Structure 1
Amino acid sequence: MDVNEFLSQPLVARVANNGPEVRPVWFIWEEGAFWWLTGSYSRMEQILVEDPRAALVVDTCELATSEVFAVTCQGTAQIVSLDRARAVRKLTRYLGPEHLWPVRFSAPLDDPATKMVRFTPDRPLRLRDRSW
């Protein structure tokens, strides 16, 4: 499996930033960056505005096979305007078709305060096999 195939799965990324805080996020990997939603409901936007450096890990652990795979990186986050089409692609990965989403996921897409984080890794990504 290559890194792009791994990151196309509906996995959870954990983002660490200067706070220090670690947050789980649903993401989409496109155009060499991780993208996720943020808004007034989250402190992450303000933290990343103050210090855009962050670290991120996406990993899996299959107990039945003892397989552990991980992508880890450091990079810079940028708060950008909401790209509704990208947000829909991201949420569809996790929730299925848009008409089935709970309102708490669809409503923010119509809120002008909702933005996106574009997190760009400093180096090319590698998928690492961390299995024993």
Structure 2
Amino acid sequence: MTSPALDVDTFLNQPLTARIATCGPTVRPVWFLWEDGAFWVLTGPWARLFDRVRSNPAVALVVDVCDIEKGLVQQVIARGDAELVPFDVPRGRRKLICYLGADESRWDTRFVRYLYDDPEVRGTTWLRLVPDSLTAEDLSFSVTA
């Protein structure tokens, strides 16, 4: 039996948590924005991720869902060299809206600061991963009562 095709854009535009692995090895959960064929992850000098990618840009990233009761099993695995690029507020807002909703007045202040603090002072940076390889699979199955 063949697996159904997974619509990568629809899947990755959900507010899911990815896990990103860097040389070390180390793995950490991250929120991300999937846009323009790239994963965008907020980072900066306060995070180990920033230093790890600066010293070795090779990363692997996985986004998956698994709901055994519904038989839903989907995954996207990406690999490549990440780059650290300047933060831009409009993209940051799009990312945070995906996870927190459009009403900024309801956001925790630590998220609002990313948009309104000076990124040059705070050091806010994007980790941008344009995957060299991307594998998407829908391994879902039928659940019988």
Q: Structure 2, unaligned stretches of length 5 or more? A: 1-5
> 2: CA distance between counterparts of 1:55 and 1:9?
19
Mark the CA change 1:111 to 1:20 in structure 2 (over 3 Å): closer, same or farther: farther
> 1: CA distance between counterparts of 2:58 and 2:43?
16
Task: Please give the residue correspondences for 1:52-67 in structure 2 after superposition, counting only pairs within 5 Å.
Answer: 52-67=57-72
Q: Aligned Cα RMSD in Å?
A: 1.3
Counterpart check, 1:129 vs 2:138: yes
Q: Identity of counterpart residues, as a percentage?
A: 48
**Larger mean Cα displacement after TM superposition, 61-70 or 9-18:** 61-70
Q: TM-score, normalised by structure 1?
A: 0.92
Structure 1 residue aligned with 2:105: 99
SS in 2 for 1:92: helix
| Equivalent AA in structure 2 for residue 131 of structure 1 | S
Structure 1 residue aligned with 2:3: none
Given the alignment, which residue of 13, 26, 39 partners 2:18?
A: 13
Q: Is the 8 A contact 1:3 1:126 kept in 2?
A: no
Q: CA deviation at 1:83?
A: 1.2
Q: CA deviation at 1:65?
A: 1.3
Structure 2 residue aligned with 1:115: 125
User: Would you say how many aligned residue pairs link Structure 1 and Structure 2?
Assistant: 131
Q: TM-score, normalised by structure 2?
A: 0.85
Q: Structure 1, unaligned stretches of length 5 or more? A: none
Counterpart check, 1:72 vs 2:82: no
| Equivalent AA in structure 1 for residue 92 of structure 2 | A
> 1: CA distance between counterparts of 2:118 and 2:111?
11
> 2: CA distance between counterparts of 1:81 and 1:19?
25
Structure 2 residue aligned with 1:39: 44
Larger Rg: 2
Q: CA deviation at 1:76?
A: 1.1
Structure 1 residue aligned with 2:53: 48
